[in-house]
Amino acid sequence: MFRVDRRLFAHFDWLLLILLLLICGMALFNLYSASYPPKPWGTPPYLKQGYFFLMGFAAIVIILSFDYQELHFWNYFFYGIVILLLVAILIIGKTVGGAQRWMNLGFFNLQPSELAKLMLVITLASYYSRKEVTDGYTIRQLFVPILLTAIPFLLIMMQPDLGTALMLGMIFVSMTVFVKLRFSVYLVLGGSAVGAVIFAWEKLLKPYQKQRVQTFLNPEKDPMGHGYQIMQSKIAIGSGGRFGKGYLEGTQGHLHFLPERHTDFAFSVWGEEWGFFGSLFFIGVYFFMLFWGLYTTMFARDRFGMLLSFGVVMLIFWQAVINLMMILGFLPVVGIPLPLVSYGGSSLLTTLLAFGILLNVRMRRFHSGRNTE
C-alpha cells in the first residue's frame, strides 16, 4: 500500500508545492505578528502552528506514498470513523464558549468537524465516480449523496457550528453541480434551499446566530457589541493604506482592538501591516495556487481523481472566499477560518491533507494504478 514508484516523481507538481510553501511561510510570518508581543507563559501560537505545519507536511509525504485510488476502497470506513467522532464529541467533547466541538487528545484539541469536510469530498467523489450518469442525475439518484451529507451536517449543527455545517452544504452543491444534473433537479433543489433557509431561521438558528446576520446587515447599529468585530476589521484593513504600516507596526492588532486576530481575522492583521499592494500579492498567490489546483482536475487520469481534486479545490476555495468577505463586512461572521493562514491545528492538518491528495492525483495522472471501480 505504501510502495513508492520513483518514476512518479517525474510528474510531481513542484509549482504547486512551491506555492503551498510560500503561503505557509507568509502565514507563519503573519501569525507571529498577530500574537506579538508574546505572552510570558505558554507556547506562542506561531510556534504551535509551526509544529502543525511539520506534522502536516509529514502527512503529505505519507499520502504521496500510496495511490489515491486506495481512498476509493476505504472511503466508507473513514466516513464511519468521522461520524463516530462527531457523535463522541456530543457526549465527551470539550466545551469552549458554549460550543462543544473539540476532543482533548493531550497534545492538541482535535476538531472532528474539520475532518468531516475533507471526508465528505472523498465520499462524494467516490459515490459519483461509481454511479456515473450520462444524461444528468435525478432527485432519486441524489438520495444517497444527500443522506451522506445530511448526517454530518446535522451532527455538526448540534455542536453547534453553523459555519462548518454550511461548508458541508457548499461542498455538496459544488460537487453535485459539477457532475451534471437534470434541469428539473435544479428547480427542486433551488426551491428546497429557499425553504430550508426559512425553516432554519425560524426553527434552528440560535439567537446569537440570528444576531450575527442582523449585525452583518447593520453593524453600526451595535458598534460596541456584536458589530465590534466587523467594524474593527474594516478599520484595520482600511488603515493599512497602499503599502501598510509595516511589519509588527499594526496598531489595531497589537493594541488589542481587533478580536480573534490570530484565528478568523488573521488576514486583517496582514492587510493593516502590508496594505493594499501587500494584500493583493497575498491574495494573488493564494488564488493562483487554487487555480493551478484546477489544472489537476482537468488532467486527472480517471473520474475519481477528477472529482477528488475538484472537491479539494472547492473545499479550500469556499472557505477562503467566505473568510475574506467576512472580514471585509460582505458576509456575516460565521467562524470559518482562512485555510493555511488562521491559527488552528485541526484546520491546518485537514488542509494539508487535502493538498497531499491533490498532489497525489497530479503525480499519478499518467500512472496506471489499482482500479477499484
Q: pLDDT tens for residues 165-192?
A: 989 999 999 999 999 888 888 888 788 7
* pLDDT for res 208: 63
Is residue 295 in a domain? Answer: yes
Average the pLDDT over 50-63 and give the result.
94
Please report whether residue 370 resides in a domain. Answer: no
Question: Does position 51 have pLDDT exceeding 90, yes or no?
Answer: yes
Three-state secondary structure readout of the chain: CCCCCHHHHHHCCHHHHHHHHHHHHHHHHHHHHHCCCCCCCCCCHHHHHHHHHHHHHHHHHHHHCCCCHHHHHHHHHHHHHHHHHHHHHHHHCEEECCEEEEEECCCCEECHHHHHHHHHHHHHHHHHHHCCCCCCECCHHHHHHHHHHHHHHHHHHCCCCHHHHHHHHHHHHHHHHHCCECHHHHHHHHHHHHHHHHHHHHHHCCHHHHHHHHHHHCHHHCCCCCCHHHHHHHHHHHHCCCCCCCCCCCHHHHCCCCCCCCCCCHHHHHHHHHHHHHHHHHHHHHHHHHHHHHHHHHCCCCHHHHHHHHHHHHHHHHHHHHHHHHHCCCCCCCCCCCCCCCCCHHHHHHHHHHHHHHHHHHHCCCCCCCCCC
Segment 194-214 shows an average pLDDT of 69
Q: What is the pLDDT of residue 317?
A: 96
Q: Which domain holds residue 137?
A: 6-36+44-363
Q: Is residue 369 assigned to a domain?
A: no
So what's the pLDDT on residue 21? 96
Residues 196-221 have a mean pLDDT of: 65
Q: What is the pLDDT of residue 1?
A: 44
Flag whether 166 is in a domain.
Answer: yes
Q: How many domains does the chain have?
A: 1
Please report whether residue 373 resides in a domain.
Answer: no
* Averaged pLDDT for residues 98-114: 81
- Residue pLDDT, tens place only, 142-151: 999 999 999 9
Q: What is the pLDDT of residues 259-292, one digit of tens each?
A: 667 788 889 889 989 999 999 999 999 999 999 9
The answer as to whether 371 is a domain residue is no
Q: Please give the share of the chain, as a percent, with pLDDT higher than 90.
A: 43
Is a pLDDT exceeding 50 seen at residue 370? Answer: no
Provide the pLDDT confidence category of residue 122 given band limits of 50, 70 and 90. very high
User: What's residue 102's pLDDT?
Assistant: 79
Confidence bin at 201 (pLDDT 50/70/90): low
Q: Is residue 372 part of a domain?
A: no
Q: Tell me what the pLDDT averaged over the chain comes to.
A: 84
What pLDDT, on the 0 to 100 scale, is given for residue 371?
43
Q: Residue range 248-254: average pLDDT?
A: 73
